[in-house]
């Protein structure tokens, strides 16, 4: 079967290799801008009525006057989206105004429906009233669309129709039934109204100009209809999909973050439309640009010192909604593999994300990621979801990208569309190819994914295959069709797949501890000046010696950015690996020895260790994940070998204090992961010990708690170890201390 054209368009986007523009604006800057905008909007609020009604109350153009209440609804919605509580007295006053004002306009009622939809259940009757009003307005329109007011009109207005649909969509998401005939009518209209170039204009006038904002409106309408009408279909509906293809292609050719293509006005209205399209489709890039970064950069460039866009509170409210919703953390990538049926259920991850948002009581998002992009580009999401009804056809470059993502801390979750055995078999074959040292197994019944959020009774536990590195799961494989459940299930939570997916989300995200969208999960090197070099070895042995091969890549970047020191490490695998048997004569200032299970040192290894530390080298021993007896077993063996006991490193030690280390940091306060605090109840201080030589020099530094997953920045839940920043700071100090040690040739 041919790939639907929407998928082909996405493939074309992927092949352009869009370059992330991280660095234009930061999440910290966006946070400050949001705070500034909120202050401005509160300043503009009418203290007596609680409203924002300046255009409509000042006798402006007819379209403004008939939308009384709409401005207040828009600003209130923006403030709620930005995180303001409905119990804030200023918001309460606005809500009172919205309850009491008589609204006559479609924009106004639709925006007010958005407000009610964000509030607790006691506001549901108000949402039901507005939904009924909007349906009646559509019934009065001769084409079943929307006009400024509920009139017997033949006028086509794609802007107001879009917002009428959005208001009803909010009602539908809260459980109100909107008859399918309406969604069908609107789907047929927007398919037929699409222009030959793939976009939409303001009306159905054949001479009307295609614009960015109206193309976003047309795509939004079709995505809504697709979600409402075709959830039960095993494949996308072709007419709607083809129209979406063409609309996405139009935007992909013309998107910019600083202008509304072909319109040159209503830029912030347009940007919020782009956001709705991107969040509905999962698309991350338009025209080789990260749409959020591009739009946010423009907004921050246009923001006045008082927190406004040209003292226009309507544009400012649209800007606030764009910044707030687009900033929401991304928990999952949906993996696009060119030439395969990777998107049989277009709304599976979308619907699951909406369900998870309700579970954790905060909004979380998803995105499509192209398998051709480098693995570090996937890391904005800790989970990558891959599904198909066909055997995988993934090339070598895509395999390398996937493995890099997994090695840098990601988790792959797979689901066979239609219970496809060829797909499941191909995933298992791929897992064996990527990780020949780790055999795919079935998850045991006591695994964390059966209990870390919902406790799932044994009779409801669906079988899950997995590939583990001994510290965490790298791949989790469902053996049944989860995508169909997520897309079509009208009662989320009834099928056990919902609870299992929630638990996997909690397991992979430290129970929902996600970063905002523009936070940098992978730290790249800055332009800081070079000030030296140090060599670090990874020692191999017969066992699980390298569970986290990506740890030192990230750590090396961190050390360079902090101290200007270039950290050279031995290769993670293959030629050039440093054997523990051979470290006696190596020139590495530091050797990192990691594992997950206890090992017994051979006499050759003991001799090599004695020779290495005698020449001035330092060994760092760590149990990756903090579970298992690796470091404790080695501590016992080495204590007996050197005839000394390990002693705790104190806050006065340079490794902890950073004193005397060029670029060192004070690590006397070290923070642990939530799981470690809950299960072991650590105090916020380092728990490093050392074996000392006769001159009291630490020759072996021991961490029973995980450092490696912290070095990567991995978010997994059941890890006994340090938070990423504390891990990186401690290891950086160890590196800088080891660099100062003199090696004897």
Q: How confident is the model at residue 237 (pLDDT cuts 50, 70, 90)?
A: confident
Average pLDDT over residues 151-171: 96
Q: Tell me: do 347 and 273 sit in the same domain.
A: no
Residues 475-494 pLDDT 10s: 999 999 999 999 988 778 78
Of 297, 327, 357, at which residue does a domain stop?
A: 327
How far apart are alpha carbons 721 and 738 in whole angstroms? Answer: 22
Predicted pLDDT at 491: 79
SS3 readout for 652-693: CCHHHHCCCCCCCCCCCCCCECHHHHHHHCCCCCCCCEEEEC
**Same domain, residue pair 345 and 409:** yes
Q: Is 332 helix (H, G, I), strand (E, B) or coil?
A: strand
The percent of residues above 70 in pLDDT, for the chain, comes to 95
Q: Are residues 180 and 254 in the same domain?
A: yes
**Neighbouring residues of 540: CB distance < 8 A, sequence distance ≥ 6:** 546, 577, 578, 579, 580
289: left (phi over 0), alpha (psi -120 to 50) or beta: beta
User: What percent of the chain is helix, strand and coil (3-state, nearest 5)?
Assistant: 45, 10, 40
Q: Look at residues 547, 590, 538, 475 and name the one whose alpha carbon lies nearest to residue 719.
A: 547
- Does position 16 have pLDDT exceeding 60, yes or no? no
At a CB cut-off of 8 Å and minimum separation 6, what does 82 contact? 34, 37, 38, 320, 321, 323, 324
Q: What is the predicted pLDDT for the residue at 711?
A: 97
Q: pLDDT value at position 12?
A: 40
Query: Domain check: are 88 and 227 in the same one?
Result: yes
385 found inside a domain: yes
Q: What is the pLDDT of residue 630?
A: 98
pLDDT band at 458 (very low <50, low <70, confident <90, very high): confident
Task: Mark whether 459 and 552 lie in a shared domain.
Answer: no
In which band, very low, low, confident or very high, does the pLDDT at 207 lie, cut at 50, 70 and 90? confident
Q: Angle 386-390-394 (CA atoms, 0-180°, nearest 5)?
A: 60
Residue 575: is its pLDDT beyond 70?
Answer: no
As given in the structure block, the two tokens for residue 642 are 């050197």
Q: Two tokens at 219?
A: 């795509």
> What digits encode the pLDDT tens for the residues 72-82?
999 999 999 99
Total number of residues shown for the chain: 745
Which of these three, 300, 327, 354, is where a domain ends? 327
Q: Residue 433's CB: how many other CB atoms inside 10 A?
A: 11
Domain's final residue, options 327, 347, 374 = 327
Sign of the CA dihedral running 617, 559, 623, 680: positive
Number of H helices, E strands in the chain: 26, 17
Residue 602 lies in a domain: yes
Alpha helical stretches, state H, 66-179: 70-81, 89-100, 106-117, 124-140, 158-173
What is the residue range of 240's domain?
5-15+39-327
- As a whole number of angstroms, the distance between CA 548 and CA 407 comes to 6
Cβ proximity of 692 and 644 under 8 Å: yes
Per-residue pLDDT at 573: 58
- Do 375 and 466 lie in a common domain? yes
Nearest-5° Cα angle at 79, 73 to 82 = 140
Residues 734 and 659 sit within 8 Å (Cβ to Cβ): no
Cα–Cα distance, 482 to 105 (Å, whole number): 42
Indicate whether 191 belongs to any domain.
yes
Residue 85 exposed, middle or buried by CB count within 10 Å (0-12, 13-18, 19+): exposed
Q: Which two tokens stand for residue 75?
A: 């600003």
Mean pLDDT in residue range 186-215: 94
Report the C-alpha gap between 565 and 662 in whole angstroms: 9
For residue 640, how far is the Cα from the chain centroid? 47
The span from the CA of 702 to the CA of 643, in Å, is 16
Helix (H) or strand (E) holding 428: helix 421-434
Residue 25's contacts (CB-CB under 8 Å, 6 or more residues apart) are: 293, 296, 297, 300, 518
Instruction: Tell me: do 275 and 366 sit in the same domain.
Output: no
Q: Is residue 514 part of a domain?
A: no
Determine the average pLDDT of the residues in 446-452: 93
- Among the listed residues 283, 271, 354, 281, the one whose alpha carbon sits nearest the alpha carbon of residue 317: 271
In the predicted structure, residue 3 carries a pLDDT above the cut 90: no
- Asked whether the beta carbons of 88 and 80 are under 8 A apart, the reply is no
- Is the pLDDT score of 367 beyond 50? yes
DSSP 211: -
Q: How many CA atoms lie within 13 A of 419 on its CB side?
A: 2
- Angstrom distance (rounded) from CA 621 to CA 707: 10
Q: What does DSSP assign to residue 209? A: P
Task: List, for residues 270-305, the tens digit of each pLDDT value.
Answer: 999 999 999 889 999 999 899 999 999 999 999 999
Other CB atoms within a 10 A radius of the CB of residue 77 amount to 22
pLDDT tier, 95 (very low <50, low <70, confident <90, very high otherwise): very high
Q: What are phi and psi of 34, to 5 degrees?
A: -60, -45
State which H helix or E strand residue 38 sits in. helix 27-44
Mean pLDDT throughout 487-504? Answer: 90
Has residue 537 been placed in a domain? yes
pLDDT at 595 (0 to 100): 97
pLDDT surpasses 90 at 547: yes
Q: If you average pLDDT over residues 584-597, what whole number do you get?
A: 95
Domain identity same for 52 and 186: yes
On the question of pLDDT at 339 being above 90, the answer is no
CATH, residue 461? 3.40.50.12140
Question: Rounded to an integer, what distance in angstroms lies between the CA atom of residue 469 and that of residue 596?
Answer: 9
State the sign of the Cα–Cα–Cα–Cα dihedral 95, 97, 103, 105: negative
Within a domain: 745: no
Q: Which helix (H) or strand (E) segment is 532 a member of? A: strand 532-540
Cβ-Cβ contacts under 8 Å for 59 (sequence gap 6 or more):
65
Q: Give the H/E segment covering residue 568.
A: strand 565-569
Q: Mean of the pLDDT values across residues 665-685?
A: 95
Q: Which residues contact 207 (CB under 8 A, 6 or more apart)?
A: none
Q: Are the beta carbons of 160 and 146 closer than 8 angstroms?
A: yes
277 — phi, psi (to 5°)? Answer: -65, -50
CA–CA separation, 146 vs 203, rounded Å? Answer: 12
Under DSSP, is residue 237 helix (H, G, I), strand (E, B) or coil? Answer: coil
Q: Report the phi/psi class of residue 23: left, alpha or beta, with left for phi > 0 and alpha for psi in -120 to 50.
A: left
CB 626 within 8 A of CB 603: no
% of the chain residues with pLDDT over 90: 85
Q: Please say if the pLDDT value at position 325 is more than 90.
A: yes
Cβ–Cβ under 8 Å, residues 106 and 149: yes
Backbone angles phi, psi at 570, to 5 degrees: -70, 155
Mean pLDDT, rounded, for 300-323: 96
| Residues 174 and 115: beta-carbon distance below 8 Å | no
Q: Are residues 196 and 283 in the same domain?
A: yes
Average pLDDT over residues 147-161: 94
Arithmetic mean of pLDDT over the chain: 92
Q: How far apart are the first and last CA of the chain?
A: 66
Domain count, the chain: 3
pLDDT for the residue numbered 408 = 96
**H or E segment at 537?**
strand 532-540
Do 275 and 351 fall into the same domain?
A: no
In a domain, 293, yes or no: yes
Are 255 and 286 contacting, i.e. CB atoms less than 8 angstroms apart? yes
Is the per-residue pLDDT at 353 higher than 50? yes
In a domain, 515, yes or no: no
The pLDDT tens digits of the residues spanning 97-145 come to 999 999 999 999 999 999 999 999 999 999 999 999 999 999 999 999 9
Q: Concatenate the DSSP letters of all residues of 455-510 into one string.
A: ---GGGPPPEEEEE-SSSEEEEEESS-HHHHHHH-SSTTSSHHHHHHHHHHHHHTT
Indicate whether 491 and 343 sit together in one domain: yes
8 Å CB contact between 287 and 253 = yes
The reply to whether 259 and 403 lie within a common domain is no
How far apart CA 150 and CA 143 sit, in angstroms, is 12
């Amino acid at each position: 079967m041919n790939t639907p054209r929407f998928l082909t368009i996405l493939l074309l986007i992927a092949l352009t290799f869009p370059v992330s523009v991280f660095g234009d604006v930061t999440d910290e800057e966006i946070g400050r801008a949001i705070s500034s905008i909120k202050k401005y909007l509160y300043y503009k609020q009418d203290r007596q009525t609680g409203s924002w009604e300046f255009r409509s109350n000042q006798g402006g153009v007819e379209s403004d006057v008939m939308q009384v209440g709409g401005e207040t609804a828009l600003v209130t919605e923006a403030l709620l989206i930005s995180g303001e509580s409905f119990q804030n007295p200023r918001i309460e006053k606005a809500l009172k105004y919205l309850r009491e004002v008589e609204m006559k306009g479609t924009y106004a009622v639709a925006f007010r429906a958005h407000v009610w939809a964000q509030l607790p259940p006691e506001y549901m009757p108000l949402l039901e009233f507005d939904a009924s009003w909007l349906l009646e307005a559509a019934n009065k329109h001769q084409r079943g669309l929307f006009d400024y007011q509920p009139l017997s009109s033949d006028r086509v207005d794609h802007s107001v129709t879009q917002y009428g649909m959005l208001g009803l969509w909010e009602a539908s998401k809260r459980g109100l039934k909107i008859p399918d005939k309406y969604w069908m009518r609107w789907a047929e209209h927007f398919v037929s109204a699409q222009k030959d170039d793939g976009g939409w204009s303001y009306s159905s006038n054949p001479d009307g100009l295609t614009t960015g904002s109206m193309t976003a409106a047309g795509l939004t309408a079709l995505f809504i209809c697709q979600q409402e009408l075709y959830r039960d279909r095993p494949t996308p509906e072709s007419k709607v999909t083809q129209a979406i293809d063409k609309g996405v292609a139009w935007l992909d050719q013309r998107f910019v973050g600083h202008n509304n293509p072909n319109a040159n006005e209503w830029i912030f209205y347009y940007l919020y439309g782009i956001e709705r399209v991107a969040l509905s489709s999962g698309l991350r890039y338009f025209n080789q640009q990260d749409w959020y970064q591009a739009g946010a950069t423009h907004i921050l460039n246009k923001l006045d010192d008082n927190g406004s866009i040209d003292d226009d509170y309507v544009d400012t409210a649209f800007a606030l909604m764009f910044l707030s919703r687009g900033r929401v953390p991304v928990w999952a990538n949906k993996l696009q593999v060119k030439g395969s049926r990777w998107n049989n259920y277009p709304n599976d991850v979308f619907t699951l994300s909406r369900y998870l948002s309700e579970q954790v009581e905060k909004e979380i998002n998803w995105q499509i990621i192209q398998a051709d992009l480098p693995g570090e580009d996937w890391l904005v999401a800790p989970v990558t979801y891959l599904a198909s009804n066909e055997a995988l056809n993934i090339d070598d470059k895509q395999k390398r990208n996937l493995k890099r993502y997994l090695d840098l801390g990601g988790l792959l979750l797979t689901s066979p569309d239609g219970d496809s055995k060829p797909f499941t078999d191909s995933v298992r074959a791929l897992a064996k190819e990527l990780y020949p040292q780790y055999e795919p197994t079935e998850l045991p019944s006591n695994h964390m994914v059966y209990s870390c959020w919902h406790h799932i009774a044994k009779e409801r536990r669906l079988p899950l295959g997995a590939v583990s590195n001994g510290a965490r799961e790298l791949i989790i494989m469902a053996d049944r069709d989860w995508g169909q459940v997520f897309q079509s299930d009208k009662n989320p939570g009834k099928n056990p797949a919902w609870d299992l997916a929630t638990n996997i989300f909690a397991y992979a995200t430290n129970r929902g501890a996600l970063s905002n969208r523009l936070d940098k999960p992978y730290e790249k090197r800055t332009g800081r000046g070079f000030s030296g070099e140090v060599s670090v070895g990874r020692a191999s042995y017969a066992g699980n010696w390298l569970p986290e091969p990506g740890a030192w890549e990230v750590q090396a970047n961190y050390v360079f950015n902090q101290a200007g020191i270039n950290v050279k490490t031995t290769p993670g695998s293959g030629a050039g690996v440093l054997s523990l048997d051979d470290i006696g004569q190596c020139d590495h200032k530091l050797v990192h020895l990691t594992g997950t299970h206890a090992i017994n040192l051979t006499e050759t290894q003991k001799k090599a260790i004695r020779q290495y530390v005698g020449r001035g080298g330092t060994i760092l021993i760590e149990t990756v994940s903090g579970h298992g007896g690796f470091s404790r077993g080695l501590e016992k063996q080495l204590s007996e070998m050197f005839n000394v006991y390990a002693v705790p490193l104190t806050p006065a030690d340079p490794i902890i204090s950073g004193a005397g280390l060029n670029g060192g940091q004070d690590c006397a306060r070290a923070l642990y992961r939530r799981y470690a605090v809950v299960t072991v109840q650590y105090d916020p201080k380092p728990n490093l010990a050392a074996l000392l030589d006769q001159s009291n020099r630490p020759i072996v530094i021991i961490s029973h708690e995980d450092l490696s997953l912290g070095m990567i920045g991995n978010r997994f839940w059941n890890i006994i170890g340090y938070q990423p920043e504390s891990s990186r700071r401690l290891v950086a100090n160890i590196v800088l201390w080891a660099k100062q040690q003199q090696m004897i040739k």
